[in-house]
């Protein structure tokens, strides 16, 4: 595995050298902070540089590194005096993050971030029109204010999975946007645990007049990477699906998928709430079967009858 390491290091060094060359007085501590790496990493980069240079690799052709009292200077590296151009992936990363932050309600597109992105696009050779819309659901600003002021709230929350509205007392810890949805990370007094609430499903917010203490360090706002990760309370369900339902395995976090004759698929899913399974089965249609557990085999038919009753009503 030396290859990716060598390339990663080269990437850093090709930025590190111009950084040093462009400054009169630069310390190892400053370099570590500018590159977001430990000082040891910078030191080892600098140790290896004197072995690099141009043929015939005589002392006047090798990069000369001098470190005096933790201060670094370089000679004989004129060809590396400018950083390498941004790659498309690097340019995209800055644009996406920048446009993303500017799309958060309350951002100022005429501030330094906006002008930095304009300069970036110019340097990259023109405007590419990358637009990020993180949305602006219901009471985003109010929730952010409450989280900052540590105000305990009472919310009416529509749980999509359980298809029910519940009222909860929560201590709002952070408001974050993940993959296109806004979430309130909060300590929920009903659950006696931290929970994520989708902001667009919070139907009402009321002040309780109470305040809460700052949560212990590290407890807040760590949003789980996979909001679907199965928990112990989930039921494991095995479904037999027709060929037309290939999208299920793509769109849902299946634990296991197995090909069956005639294009059918058998999938195993962790189901946290009954309505969630109903939706899936109604969308797939008559070809879907619950293989196990047996107690759920009439789920689709019962759900269909219930919805039909709404049509008769």
Partner 1 sequence: MGDRFERLTNLVAVLLDTRRPIPLDELIDRVPGYPSDHESARRQFERDKDALRGLGVPVEVVEDAFGDMIGYRVDPKEYELPDLDLTGEERAALHAAVSAMKLEGGEGREALWKLGGLAGEEAPALGALPTVPTLPALTEASRRRSEATFRHRGQVRRLQPFAIIFRRGNWYVVGHDLDRNDRRSFRADRIEGEVAVGPPGAFDRPSDFAADALMRDEPWLYGEEPAVEATVHVDAVVAAWVIQRLGESAVVEGGAEAGDGAVVRMTVTNREAFRSFVLGLLDHAVVLGPPELRDDVVGWLRTIAGVAR
Strand order of the β-sheet with 235-241 is 254-259, 265-271, 235-241, 289-292
Stretch of residues binding partner 1 (CB under 8 A), selected from 188-196, 227-235, 256-264, 282-290? 282-290
Which is nearer to partner 1, 194 or 278 (by Cβ)?
Answer: 278
Dihedral Cα 100, 103, 108, 113, nearest 10 deg: 20
Strand order of the β-sheet with 64-68 is 26-27, 71-75, 64-68
Is 113 an interacting residue with respect to partner 1 (CB under 8 A)?
yes
**Of 21, 135, 168, 264, the one binding partner 1 by CB under 8 A:** 135
Q: What is the DSSP letter of 139?
A: T
Is 139 an interacting residue with respect to partner 1 (CB under 8 A)?
no
Is 148 an interacting residue with respect to partner 1 (CB under 8 A)?
no
Stretch of residues binding partner 1 (CB under 8 A), selected from 51-59, 187-195, 235-243, 253-261? 51-59
CB 268 within 8 Å of CB 236? yes
Which is nearer to partner 1, 136 or 189 (by Cβ)?
Answer: 136
Is 87 an interacting residue with respect to partner 1 (CB under 8 A)?
yes
Interface with partner 1 in residues 224-263 (CB under 8 A): none
Task: Tell me the CB-side half-sphere exposure of residue 92, using CA atoms within 13 A.
Answer: 3
Which is nearer to partner 1, 192 or 294 (by Cβ)?
Answer: 294
Is 168 an interacting residue with respect to partner 1 (CB under 8 A)?
no
Question: What is the closest distance, in whole angstroms, from the C-beta atom of residue 5 to partner 1 in the complex?
Answer: 6
Tokens in use for 19? 């950084």
Task: Tell me the CB-side half-sphere exposure of residue 158, using CA atoms within 13 A.
Answer: 8
Which is nearer to partner 1, 122 or 258 (by Cβ)?
Answer: 122
Count of chain residues binding partner 1 (CB under 8 A): 106
Report how far residue 276's alpha carbon sits from residue 202's, in angstroms, rounded to the nearest whole number.
18
């Amino acid at each position: 595995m030396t290859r990716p390491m060598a390339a990663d290091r080269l990437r850093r060094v090709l930025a590190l050298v111009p950084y040093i060359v462009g400054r009169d007085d630069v310390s190892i501590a400053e370099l570590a902070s500018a590159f977001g790496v430990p000082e040891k990493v910078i030191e080892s980069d600098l140790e290896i540089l004197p072995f690099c240079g141009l043929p015939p690799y005589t002392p006047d052709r090798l990069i000369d590194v001098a470190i005096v009292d933790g201060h670094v200077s370089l000679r004989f590296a004129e060809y590396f005096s400018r950083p390498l151009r941004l790659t498309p992936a690097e340019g995209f990363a800055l644009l996406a993050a920048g446009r993303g932050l500017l799309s958060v309600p309350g951002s100022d597109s005429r501030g330094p971030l906006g002008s930095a992105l304009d300069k970036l696009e110019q340097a990259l050779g023109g405007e590419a029109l990358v637009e990020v819309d993180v949305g602006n659901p219901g009471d985003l600003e109010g929730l952010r204010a409450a989280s900052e002021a540590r105000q305990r709230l009472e919310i009416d929350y529509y749980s999509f999975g359980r298809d029910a509205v519940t009222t909860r007392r929560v201590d709002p810890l952070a408001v974050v946007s993940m993959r296109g949805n806004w979430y309130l990370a909060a300590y929920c007094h009903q659950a006696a645990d931290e929970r994520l609430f989708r902001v667009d499903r919070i139907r009402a917010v009321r002040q309780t007049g109470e305040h809460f203490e700052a949560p212990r360090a590290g407890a807040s706002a760590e949003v789980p990477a996979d909001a679907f990760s199965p928990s112990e309370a989930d039921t494991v369900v095995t479904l037999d699906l027709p060929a037309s339902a290939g999208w299920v395995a793509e769109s849902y976090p299946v634990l296991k998928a197995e090909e069956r004759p005639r294009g059918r698929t058998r999938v195993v899913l962790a189901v946290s709430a009954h309505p969630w399974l109903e939706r899936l089965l109604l969308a797939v249609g008559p070809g879907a079967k619950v293989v196990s557990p047996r107690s759920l085999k009439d789920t689709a038919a019962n759900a269909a009858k219930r919805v039909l009753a709404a049509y008769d009503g």
